[in-house]
Amino acid sequence: MHYIRTLLLGAILASVVFVMHARSAAAHQPYFEDDDWTANAPYTVQDPTVSTALYATLDSRQDVDYVTFTGQAGERVLLGLTIPEIEGQEAFAPTLALIGPGLPAIELPDKIAAAPDSGGIVLTPPPGPARSFFEPFSRTRYWERQEDRITLPVDGDYVVAVWHPDGAVGRYTLVVGDRELPGGDVAFPFKLRAFWTPVPEPMGNEPEIAPSAPQPGRSSRCIPRHSME
């Protein structure tokens, strides 16, 4: 999880330098969920080996965010979550899953969209109190959650799904990849200020949202993982 911390520091520093000097420094690539990342309109990571920090929000009890990428057999892809230290998020701990061809058979919640022939790996938060770290360039703090490096079994299209098993709402940062290259949203320092606010609790009962893709077979099993530290 220390590596996730390093990635976030680099992403923020790179964006500040980009804005100040009109060019990007060699570091990580931050992006924001400007529109909801749904199963029908997921965010696409162009290269899963390049370090990308995705700032996103679960804003309803049924919300599931989707990120896609095309990978090659043998690539080791870093996946991880950190949680901004925003008031009310002390216990916010989403689950993420990598879904795609060649992965172990998996059973997912009904609200998660997945192709019928997909397998997957679920990354759940590690037990115990989360560690906190301070990011000096934006003067913000994060709680560390789960991370893992997963070797892709075959060439193909993969999906990362992020949701909260109890329907809690909140903000998170999903990190994909660990190879440092310049890039990212040049408006990062300004968008971060708007992002760093509590998410309102949903009002009333929300309707169930059916997934847009068939679910894998229910006779399969789930492969949970925590942090590798």
**Distance separating alpha carbons of residues 52 and 29, to the nearest angstrom:** 5
Is the predicted pLDDT of residue 86 greater than 60, yes or no? yes
Give a yes or no: residue 93 inside a domain.
yes
- Tell whether 94 is covered by a domain: yes
220 within domain boundaries: no
Predicted pLDDT at 135: 75
Three-state SS string across the chain, please? CHHHHHHHHHHHHHHHHHHHHCCCCCCCEEEECCCCCCCCCCEECCCCCECEEEEEEECCCCCCEEEEEEECCCCEEEEEEEEECCCCCCCCCCEEEEEECCCCCCCCCCCCCCCCCCEEEEECCCCCCCCEEEECCCCEEEEEEEEEEEECCCCEEEEEEEECCCCCCEEEEEEECCECCCCCCCCHHHHHHHHCCCCCCCCCCCCCCCCCCCCCCCCCCCCEECCCC
**pLDDT tens, residue by residue, 3-15:** 566 556 555 554 4
Residue pLDDT, tens place only, 186-218: 999 899 999 999 999 988 665 544 455 533 332
Closest CA to 1 of 104, 123, 89: 123
Is residue 13 included in any domain, yes or no? yes
CA 186 and chain centroid, separation: 20
Residue 229: inside a domain: no
Displacement of CA 185 from its chain's centroid (Å): 16
Asked if residue 119 has pLDDT above 70, the reply is yes
Distance of alpha carbon 49 from alpha carbon 170, whole angstroms: 27
Provide the CATH number for the domain around residue 145. 2.60.120.380
First to last CA, the chain: 7
Crossing angle of helices 188-195 and 2-21, in 10° steps, is 130
Q: Domain for residue 155, yes or no?
A: yes
Q: Can you give the residue range of the structural domain that contains 81?
A: 2-192
Please tell me whether the overall predicted TM-score, pTM, comes out greater than 0.95 for this model.
no
| pLDDT tens digits, 150-185 | 999 999 999 999 999 999 999 999 999 999 888 899
Closest CA to 61 of 164, 167, 196: 167
What is the rounded distance in angstroms from the CA atom of residue 1 to the CA atom of residue 228?
Answer: 8
Q: How many domains does the chain have?
A: 1
Share of the chain above pLDDT 70, in %: 76
Give me the amino acid identity at 157: D
Token pair belonging to 2: 């220390």
| Residue 174 in domain | yes
Q: Do the domain assignments include residue 223?
A: no
C-beta atoms surrounding 169 within 10 Å: 20
